[in-house]
Every structure is written in C-alpha cells, then in structure tokens.
C-alpha cells in the first residue's frame, strides 16, 4: 500500500512531453477542478478505506496475541467488516486497465511500480479475506457483556435454536441470540429489522433515479487530441471502445456502467413494491437477487476511476488533454446512492410482507 500510494502509477509520453501520475494525482486534479465530492470518493475508495481496513485488521490480530486483549478491539473489528465494500482496489485496477487501453494508440504509456503494487495488494487482500475467519475472531475477542447464564457461548450458541426464546441475529457479528437490546458478543444494538428500512431505501433510490438522467445525458469527459475533441457521455465512451474493436472491454464497461446501475435501480424498486403489496411471488429468487445487487454495486465505479486516472495523466495542453465532465459526478452519486440503498434495504421485509394476511 505504501509503494502503491507513493510510486508512479502510470506514465505517458508523446512528442517528447511526458507526465506521471500517482494514486493521489487523480483526486488532487479533480479537487482542483472544483469536483471535490468526486475527489473525496476516489480518495476514500482507493486509499483511505483499503489502508484503514488493513491497519485495523493488523491491529486487531496483533491485539489478539496479547494475554488479555483490550476491549476496544471489538469495535475496531466491526469497522473492518463495515469497510469491506468501500475498499475498491480491484475495481480501480480495472479502471486503470480501461484508461491504459484508451491511451495506447495515442502515446507510449507505461504502467509504473504502483500499478504492479496494487495488483499484488489486490491478490494479498483476497488471500487475507479467504484465510480470515471472522467468526473465529469474534469468538476470540473480549465480550462486550457477559452472556446470560445457562446460555452456551460462541458458536454453539449460534448453531442451537433457543427453545422458548424469541431469537435475533446480530448484523455486525452474525451471532444468533435471545432477543435483547445489545449483542452480547460485539455490543452492537440488536434490531429485528433494519431501522426505517423502507423509508430510507425509497429516499435513496428516488435520489439515484433522479440523478440517473444527468449521469447518462451529461458528458463525463472530453478527450482533446491535437486540439480536437468532443465531450462524450458514458454510452459514447462504450461506443468508442467498440469502434476501436476492443469488444471484451466494451462489453465489460457496458455491463458495469449501463447494465448494473439500471438493474440495481429496477431490482430495488421491484423489491420495495413487492414489500408494499405483500407479494408471495418468487421470494427465494428475490432474496437471491438482493444478494447479487449488494455484491455487484461497486463494480460500476470502473468508469469513475478511469476518468480520474485520465484526468491525472493526460494534461499535455494542445497535444492531448482530458477534462472531466459534470456527468461523472452525477454518475458516481448514482453508484454510491444505490449502494447505500441496497445497504438500507432489509430483504427479510419481503418475507414478513408475504406472511401478512391479505397478501397476493
Ligand atoms: Zn454482534
């Protein structure tokens, strides 16, 4: 991460002029062009969130080796889990790849040490996540409160249904326990359903739908080559890739930037409406759809990262320059709002609604 953040990410040279960009140049350039919110999103998702997550995890795992691990580790480990979807190194790498292919014909482009470091970081993070057993960490961490007596501790508790008690699942550490205000294992507030789920999801989804139009109609970037260039929208960017015969990449960007946002908005809308009508139609498939929407959301950021990299790198005045357009802020807002909307939606409400008398 240190290498990735400090060393050159990509360098460009054309007609003897050259430019280098690091991971920080993109957000810095976006900030200078009055796109501060966008700059912050790129900075958080590519640097702050992954770095914080790794440091917190290292701190927690180191703390567990102590004779009596301090209590604050429990809170820190819940942050490790919450940060997971917001650390987007792998999505950024795809954005880097798209940016690279857009530049190869124009100039000589080289991926710097930081690019390789990010690739290695992505593999190592994947290996860390595959080796990490969050349940084992939760069990080893100091408990926030003592478990009520006669209730077995840890995993045994999660596996055994408690007869005669209403049970409740903790959203932070996934412990299943008796209905009580605070989770005995991690100390989070326990709720049977996410708070104000429908209101919040509707609000975020409507905001995302409203921004969807400017996100697709306004230009996201202007690529000027030898003094010529026109602003292009998200869809025109895909067309450009297709025109250059880069079919797999064109399909990938089309899927991530056009299909996924539309699918997310439509799916969440469908789920919300079926909760209101109390529909019993395909509950299992709808729940599966929710998991897909939740997982796939972050991949739409490819275009945002690609634009951030191009803005950072292609600043050669008349010869070649890239200017980000207003559309990219709207597009990024759509991605973030739909991610938040799917995080606010509680799929269990669909099952509750189906159980209500008078449902269809
Ligand atoms: Zn918990």
Tens of pLDDT, residue by residue over 15-55, are 888 889 999 999 999 999 999 999 999 999 999 999 999 99
Q: How far is the CA of 169 from the centre of ligand 1 (A)?
A: 8
Distance CA 360, CA 354 (A): 8
Q: How far is the CA of 171 from the centre of ligand 1 (A)?
A: 7
Residue with tokens 């960490």: 137
In tens, the pLDDT along 67-104 reads 888 888 998 999 998 999 999 999 999 999 999 988 88
Q: How far is the CA of 259 from the centre of ligand 1 (A)?
A: 35
Q: How far is the CA of 25 from the centre of ligand 1 (A)?
A: 39
Residue 266 corresponds to which tokens in the numbers above? 């439509």
Contact in structure between 327 and 217 (CB atoms under 8 Å): yes
User: Sheet containing 17-21: which strands, arranged edge to edge?
Assistant: 17-21, 10-14, 108-111
Residue 116 corresponds to which tokens in the numbers above? 């390789």
Phi-psi map region of 15: left, alpha, beta (phi>0 left; psi -120 to 50 alpha): left
Q: How far is the CA of 72 from the centre of ligand 1 (A)?
A: 14
pLDDT of 146? 56
pLDDT of 106? 80
Q: How far is the CA of 183 from the centre of ligand 1 (A)?
A: 5
In tens, the pLDDT along 264-275 reads 999 999 999 999
Distance CA 21, CA 99 (A): 12
Q: How far is the CA of 77 from the centre of ligand 1 (A)?
A: 11
**How confident is the model over 252-271, as a mean pLDDT?**
94
Q: How far is the CA of 268 from the centre of ligand 1 (A)?
A: 27
* Confidence band, pLDDT 50/70/90 cuts, at residue 159: very low
Residue with tokens 């691990």: 69
Q: How far is the CA of 185 from the centre of ligand 1 (A)?
A: 5
In tens, the pLDDT along 329-338 reads 999 999 999 9
Distance CA 299, CA 94 (A): 9
pLDDT of 280? 85
Residues around ion ligand 1, judged by CB within 5 A, are 170, 172-173, 175, 183, 185-186, 188
Q: How far is the CA of 73 from the centre of ligand 1 (A)?
A: 13
**How confident is the model over 119-124, as a mean pLDDT?**
96
Whether 325 has a pLDDT exceeding 50, the answer reads: yes
What pTM value is reported for the model?
0.89
Whether 60 has a pLDDT exceeding 70, the answer reads: yes
């Amino acid at each position: 991460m240190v290498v990735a953040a400090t060393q050159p990410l990509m360098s460009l040279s054309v007609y003897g002029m050259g430019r280098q960009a690091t991971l920080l140049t993109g957000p810095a350039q976006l900030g200078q062009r009055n796109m501060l919110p966008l700059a912050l999103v790129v900075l958080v998702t590519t640097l702050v969130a992954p770095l914080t997550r790794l440091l917190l995890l290292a701190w927690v795992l180191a703390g567990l080796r102590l004779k009596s691990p301090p209590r604050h580790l429990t809170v820190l480990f819940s942050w490790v889990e919450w940060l997971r979807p917001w650390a987007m190194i792998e999505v950024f790498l795809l954005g880097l790849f798209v940016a690279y292919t857009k530049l190869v014909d124009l100039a000589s482009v080289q991926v710097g040490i930081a690019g390789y470091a990010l690739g290695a970081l992505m593999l190592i993070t994947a290996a860390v996540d595959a080796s990490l057993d969050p349940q084992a960490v939760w069990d080893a961490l100091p408990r926030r409160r003592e478990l009520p007596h006669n209730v077995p501790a840890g995993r045994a508790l999660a596996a055994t249904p408690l007869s005669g008690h209403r049970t409740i699942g903790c959203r932070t550490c996934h412990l299943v326990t008796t209905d009580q205000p605070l989770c005995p294992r991690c100390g989070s507030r326990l709720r049977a359903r996410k708070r104000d789920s429908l209101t919040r999801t509707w609000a975020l989804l409507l905001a995302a739908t409203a921004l969807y139009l400017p996100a697709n109609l306004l230009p996201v970037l202007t690529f000027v080559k030898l003094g010529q260039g026109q602003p292009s929208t998200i869809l025109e960017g895909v067309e450009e890739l297709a025109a250059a015969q880069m079919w797999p990449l064109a399909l990938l960007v089309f899927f991530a930037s056009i299909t996924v946002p539309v699918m997310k908005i439509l799916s969440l809308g469908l789920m919300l409406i079926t909760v209101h009508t109390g529909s019993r139609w395909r509950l299992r498939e709808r729940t599966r759809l929710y998991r897909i929407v939740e997982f796939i959301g972050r991949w739409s950021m490819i275009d945002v990262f690609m634009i951030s990299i191009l803005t950072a790198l292609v600043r050669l005045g008349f010869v070649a320059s890239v200017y980000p357009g207003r559309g990219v802020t709207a597009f990024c807002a759509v991605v973030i709002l739909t991610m938040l909307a799917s995080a606010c939606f509680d799929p269990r409400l669909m099952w509750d609604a189906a159980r209500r008398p008078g449902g269809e």
